[in-house]
Amino acid sequence: MLKIKDVKFTLKKYKYDKPFHITGGISDESTNVEVVIKCENGIEGFGEASPSFRVNGEKPEMIIALENFVKTTLIDLSITNYRKIFDITDKLFAIPSLKAALQFATLDAFSKNFNLQVYQLLGGAKDFIVTDKTAGIDTVEDRIKEIRKIIDDGFEFIKIKVGENLKEDIDTMLKVKNIIKDKKIIIDANMGYTAKQALYFVNQLYREGIDVDVFEQPVYMKDIEGLKYVRFNSPYPVAADESAKTKYDVLNLIKMDSVDYINIKLMKSGISDALAIVEMAKSANKKLMIGCMGESSIGINQSVHFALGTGAFEFCDLDSHLMIKDDNFRGNFIQDGAFMRAKIS
Ligand code: MN
């Protein structure tokens, strides 16, 4: 028995290096909530919630307002029975980023108590993962500059945001065609296109010989028929991100056979649903990628350990902490350019 003695929430604000523009919003900062679970033996587990209003309808204020409720609910439970804590926090489905932070903090405390790291507790499948870097929406010239810089910085995996202006999106892709040809490319429309626009976009790229490894969330999150239509008419694999928040969403996507890839984000699913989605995807022969919201290094740490532990991901899009101005690195992993390595113990 290792009882929880206290739970603490702290609001944190992080500025981005430059405003991050995607379909549906521009943000120049990220407001997160750090969670600490303290056990009676003094061990502390750390988590971070990075709430997304755009995707999940949640705000940091909602999380802060729940501090006392969470405290009274979790105090005296034992972290060694962590499934019980997962089952209770599963009820926080309206605030999934808080669910993620509490579940990870529980695993963090649990693993520390047994002298392990979370990735080992989750299976220890990999020693390292490689992240992409994201180019946001901007003028065509600035998008080209940014993609060039990402390549110069040594990234082999590049995510390119599209979805606000079809013509400029195509123009950008044609102009970077030669510099991205030996890179892995994820295109993310963040729900910005209709199914027909999405097909027009991919057909223009395909005709020019541009290779896209994943085409992410071309259409609105609730438009599962549209997603399926794009999937079966696109030359490139299609991924669900905003459409795939919970294991129930993923069950439906699998039943409908709407996508090739699921983008798991702990901030949408927590650890419990993310673990379920990994197994569901394997059973249905779907591929997986892992993404992030606006986590700092302490929050990205959660997804790095999840990805290392399960070894389930073809693509890792874990770069939010790399966009934060003066991120005081607090991850329990080694960031080495695009590589994120486990601290072997
Ligand atoms: Mn996405």
C-alpha distance from residue 305 to each of 5, 128, 230 (Å): 25, 10, 33
pLDDT for the residue 32: 98
Region 215-244 average pLDDT:
98
Between the CA of 70 and the centroid of ligand 1 the distance, in Å, is 29
Cα–Cα distance for residue pair 216/261, rounded to 1 Å: 8
Task: Set out the domains of the chain in order of their start, with CATH numbers.
Answer: 4-115 (3.30.390.10)
Region 123-131 average pLDDT:
98
pLDDT for the residue 326: 81
Report the alpha-carbon angle 112-118-124, nearest 5: 130
Q: Say if residues 35 and 47 touch (Cβ distance below 8 Å).
A: yes
Q: Residue type for 127, please?
A: D
Q: Say if residues 303 and 334 touch (Cβ distance below 8 Å).
A: no
pLDDT tens for each residue of 32-46: 999 999 999 999 999
Cα–Cα distance for residue pair 250/37, rounded to 1 Å: 30
Between the CA of 263 and the centroid of ligand 1 the distance, in Å, is 7
Is 265 considered catalytic here? yes
Between the CA of 75 and the centroid of ligand 1 the distance, in Å, is 35
Region 64-78 average pLDDT:
98
Between the CA of 76 and the centroid of ligand 1 the distance, in Å, is 38
Considering the entire predicted model, what is its pTM? Answer: 0.98
Query: Which of the four pLDDT bands, split at 50, 70 and 90, describes residue 285?
Result: very high
pLDDT for the residue 198: 98
Is 161 considered catalytic here? yes
Is residue 278 over pLDDT 90? yes
pLDDT for the residue 26: 95
Supply the mean pLDDT for the chain: 97
Is residue 67 over pLDDT 80? yes
pLDDT for the residue 344: 86
Q: Catalytic: which of 161, 184, 228, 268?
A: 161
3-state secondary structure 27-84: EEEEEEEEEEEEECCCCEEEEEECCCHHHHCCCHHHHHHCHHHHHHHHCCCEHHHHHH
Region 53-78 average pLDDT:
98
Q: Which two tokens stand for residue 27?
A: 């943000």
Q: How many CB atoms lie within 10 A of CB 13?
A: 9
Cα–Cα distance for residue pair 239/259, rounded to 1 Å: 6
Q: Which letter does DSSP use for residue 194 in this model? A: -
Q: 82-89 and 67-74 are packed helices; what angle lies between their axes, rounded to 10 degrees? A: 150
Q: Which letter does DSSP use for residue 235 in this model? A: S
Is residue 124 over pLDDT 90? yes
pLDDT for the residue 182: 97
Query: Which of the four pLDDT bands, split at 50, 70 and 90, describes residue 1?
Result: confident
Between the CA of 292 and the centroid of ligand 1 the distance, in Å, is 8
Report the alpha-carbon angle 141-292-92, nearest 5: 140
Question: What percent of the chain stands above pLDDT 90?
Answer: 99
pLDDT tens for each residue of 309-335: 999 999 999 999 999 998 899 999 999
Backbone φ, ψ for residue 147 (5° rounding): -60, -40
Between the CA of 318 and the centroid of ligand 1 the distance, in Å, is 11
Q: Catalytic: which of 159, 265, 268, 286?
A: 265
pLDDT for the residue 268: 98
Is residue 95 over pLDDT 90? yes
Between the CA of 78 and the centroid of ligand 1 the distance, in Å, is 35
pLDDT for the residue 48: 98
Is residue 210 over pLDDT 80? yes
pLDDT for the residue 327: 80
Between the CA of 197 and the centroid of ligand 1 the distance, in Å, is 18
Between the CA of 110 and the centroid of ligand 1 the distance, in Å, is 31
Query: Which of the four pLDDT bands, split at 50, 70 and 90, describes residue 180?
Result: very high
Q: 96-113 and 82-89 are packed helices; what angle lies between their axes, rounded to 10 degrees? A: 170
pLDDT for the residue 233: 98
Between the CA of 2 and the centroid of ligand 1 the distance, in Å, is 38
